């Protein structure tokens, strides 16, 4: 629908080029709703495949009843790991998985999870006091059997073609335990007692784990530290770690959303030992959850949350607004980091992101923090992945929180039941961006106007990202408008299209979700589309995520 053309907005903070400005006047008289300018010659950087990473914490049913079903289970498994999960992750080219936490990491002793399974100690899980599991029996969510340990996790990664990213315990284990975990994983076959123990459990060759998080949320569950205190701990843990012939990439525990004080305080603390201290940091983590749907009424963590499934359009837009803030947070933390790291070597690792709703939509008891995933979460996830694609110079890794039976799950499982969520389809569609060259793309479109509790509010109506691999252009676009399709002219600056393909994730009901009984309610469909020339057109469905793959002449 050609609506509100007098109020075309530019969906970018970047200055308009003169050439683009000249198009603005033509939009007012155009027969389409929006224009997408793909500046094929303006490269932004290579999109790290790792921004399509995952996070699987030993929390609720992410591992037990999720990833791990056990070797003797009747549920199809590969060495105890749920088989349909492995198969599905391979299809989306899963690049990296973070484990064991999250908050759980800073209570975990990795030595509990090695050696013969029957001899491993049973422990109280960090999350055991959550009301969902507190009053239940000896379930793994409460009394952890440690069946899923380092070897099992690394095997899970191998089966799915992913790199392991281990988060080390800084709050409750000394640094020697961190060095020994590195030794267990990476020392050459036969070289150390720990390498022998690894081999006895089926891991003769070193695991070569490259990514190591030094703690998690050290400002909170990871130790309640000040940034200066954490900088001291980081230096200590990262000093003199055995390398075993490979470069280890240390990820420092970073800020939560807009906590710029943490970022600045951490770097200042690091520099107290001189600028060489910065060389030990490969990435700075950033956590950002979109949780406050109260439209400014409260900042209370519980009161601000909304329902996962029952929501009005205003809460749909509120989630989009919250999620959209991530781009300015990335920019803000990046600016602070650049004050200390002029060469811009240290990158951001957004190793927890996703929506977070009120409890109540769990598919089974004890599935702590599990929530039903709707089309709203798919659109929010597309919006987020586009932010990462647009910032390849700043973000080197991101991990969706969390893989299954949790917050922004790609999968829900309970016993032998298993289903992929709408977010899974988004990851499948966006996989085409992995490792490609991001190119600048500008979206000119009328903003959506809606009623925000009696006040008129605006939100952008089309946004996305583009990347190029040889002659293959991948363009992903989100239309967050709950009611209106958007017809756009795609202006290929510097090339012509010869053919193309469209894949669309749309649902007639914005609350649509996949369940065990109805697993295909939301699924991606391909549509015939034959783009040619410099200015092909496409109509983006309401409340949708679209993948356009164009072959350039
Ligand atoms: O993802 C759930 C929790 O959220 C993680 O354990 C923690 O790091 C964050 O606060």
The reported pLDDT for the residue numbered 365 is: 87
Residue 93 above 50 pLDDT? yes
Look up 205 and say whether it is catalytic. no
Ligand 1 atom with minimal separation from the 217 CA: 8
Q: For residue 238, what is the enclosing H or E element?
A: helix 227-238
Distance 215 CA to ligand 1 centre (A): 12
Q: How does pLDDT run across 349-384, given as a tens digit for each residue?
A: 999 999 999 999 999 989 999 999 999 999 999 999
User: Which residue is closest in CA terms to ligand 1's atom 5?
Assistant: 102
Ligand 1 atom with minimal separation from the 402 CA: 1
The reported pLDDT for the residue numbered 26 is: 52
The reported pLDDT for the residue numbered 25 is: 45
Inter-residue contact 464 to 385 (CB < 8 Å)? no
At residue 58, the 3 state secondary structure works out as coil
User: Which residue is closest in CA terms to ligand 1's atom 8?
Assistant: 102
Distance 102 CA to ligand 1 centre (A): 5
Mean pLDDT of the chain: 94
User: Which residue is closest in CA terms to ligand 1's atom 7?
Assistant: 102
Alpha carbon distance 384, 12 (integer Å):
15
Residues in contact with ligand 1 by the CB-under-6-Å rule are 57, 101-103, 216-217, 352, 369, 401-402, 407
Distance 108 CA to ligand 1 centre (A): 14
Confidence bin at 132 (pLDDT 50/70/90): confident
The reported pLDDT for the residue numbered 9 is: 39
Distance 476 CA to ligand 1 centre (A): 29
Inter-residue contact 252 to 281 (CB < 8 Å)? yes
Confidence bin at 2 (pLDDT 50/70/90): very low
* 467: nearest Cα among 527, 347, 385, 346: 385
The whole-model pTM stands at 0.95
Mean pLDDT (whole number) for 482-495: 96
Query: Considering 37, 57, 217, 315, which one is annotated as catalytic?
Result: 217
Look up 352 and say whether it is catalytic. yes
Alpha carbon distance 435, 160 (integer Å):
18
The reported pLDDT for the residue numbered 4 is: 32
Confidence bin at 29 (pLDDT 50/70/90): low
Tokens of residue 92, six digits: 């989306």
Q: How does pLDDT run across 162-190, given as a tens digit for each residue?
A: 999 999 999 999 999 999 999 999 999 99
The reported pLDDT for the residue numbered 373 is: 98
Number of H helices, E strands in the chain: 12, 26
């Amino acid at each position: 629908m050609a609506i509100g053309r007098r109020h075309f907005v530019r969906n970018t903070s970047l200055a308009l080029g003169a050439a683009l400005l000249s198009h603005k006047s033509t939009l007012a008289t155009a027969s389409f709703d929006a224009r997408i300018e793909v500046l094929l010659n303006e490269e932004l950087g290579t999109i790290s495949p790792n921004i399509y990473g995952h996070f699987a914490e030993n929390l609720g049913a992410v591992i037990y009843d999720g990833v791990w079903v056990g070797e003797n289970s009747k549920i199809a498994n590969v060495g105890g790991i749920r088989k349909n999960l492995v198969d599905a992750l391979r299809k989306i080219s899963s690049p990296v998985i973070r484990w064991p936490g999250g908050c759980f990491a800073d209570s975990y002793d990795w030595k509990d999870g090695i050696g013969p399974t029957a001899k491993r100690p049973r422990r109280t899980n960090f999350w055991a006091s959550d009301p969902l599991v507190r009053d239940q029996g000896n379930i793994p969510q409460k009394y952890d059997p440690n069946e899923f340990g380092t070897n099992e996790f690394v095997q899970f990664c191998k089966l799915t073609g992913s790199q392991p990213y281990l988060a080390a315990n800084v709050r409750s284990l000394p640094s020697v335990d961190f060095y020994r975990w590195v030794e267990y994983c990476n020392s050459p076959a036969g070289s150390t007692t720990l390498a022998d123990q690894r081999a006895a459990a089926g891991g003769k060759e070193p695991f070569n784990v490259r990514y190591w998080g030094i703690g998690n949320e050290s400002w909170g569950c990871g130790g309640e530290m000040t940034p200066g205190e954490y900088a001291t701990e980081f230096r200590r843990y990262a000093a003199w770690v055995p390398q075993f012939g490979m470069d280890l990439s240390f990820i420092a525990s970073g800020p939560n959303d807009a906590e710029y004080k943490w970022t600045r305080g951490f770097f200042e603390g690091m520099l107290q030992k001189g600028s060489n201290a910065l060389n030990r940091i490969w990435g700075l983590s950033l956590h950002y959850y979109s949780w406050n749907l109260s439209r400014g009424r409260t900042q209370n963590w519980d009161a601000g949350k909304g329902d996962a499934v029952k929501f009005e359009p205003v809460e749909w837009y509120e989630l989009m607004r919250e999620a959209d803030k991530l781009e300015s947070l990335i920019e803000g933390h990046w600016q602070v980091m650049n004050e200390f790291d002029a060469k811009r070597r240290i990158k951001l690792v957004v190793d927890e992101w996703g929506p977070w709703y009120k409890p109540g939509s769990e598919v089974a008891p004890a599935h702590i923090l599990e929530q039903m995933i709707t089309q709203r979460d798919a659109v929010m996830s597309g919006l987020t992945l586009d932010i990462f694609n647009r910032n390849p110079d700043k973000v080197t890794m991101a991990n969706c929180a969390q893989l299954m039976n949790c917050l922004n799950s790609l999968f829900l499982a309970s016993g032998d039941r298993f289903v992929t969520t709408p977010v899974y389809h988004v990851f499948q569609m966006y996989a085409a961006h992995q490792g490609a060259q991001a190119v600048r793309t500008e979206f000119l479109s009328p903003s959506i106007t809606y009623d925000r509790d009696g006040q008129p509010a605006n939100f952008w109506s089309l946004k996305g990202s583009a990347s190029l691999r040889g002659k293959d252009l991948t363009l992903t676009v989100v239309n967050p408008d709950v009611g209106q399709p958007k017809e756009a002219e795609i202006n290929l600056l510097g090339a012509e299209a010869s053919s193309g393909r469209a894949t669309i994730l749309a649902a007639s009901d914005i609350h649509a979700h996949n369940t065990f009984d109805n697993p295909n309610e939301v699924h991606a469909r391909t549509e015939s589309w034959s783009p040619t020339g410099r200015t092909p057109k496409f109509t983006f469905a309401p409340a949708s995520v679209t993948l356009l793959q164009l072959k350039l002449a």
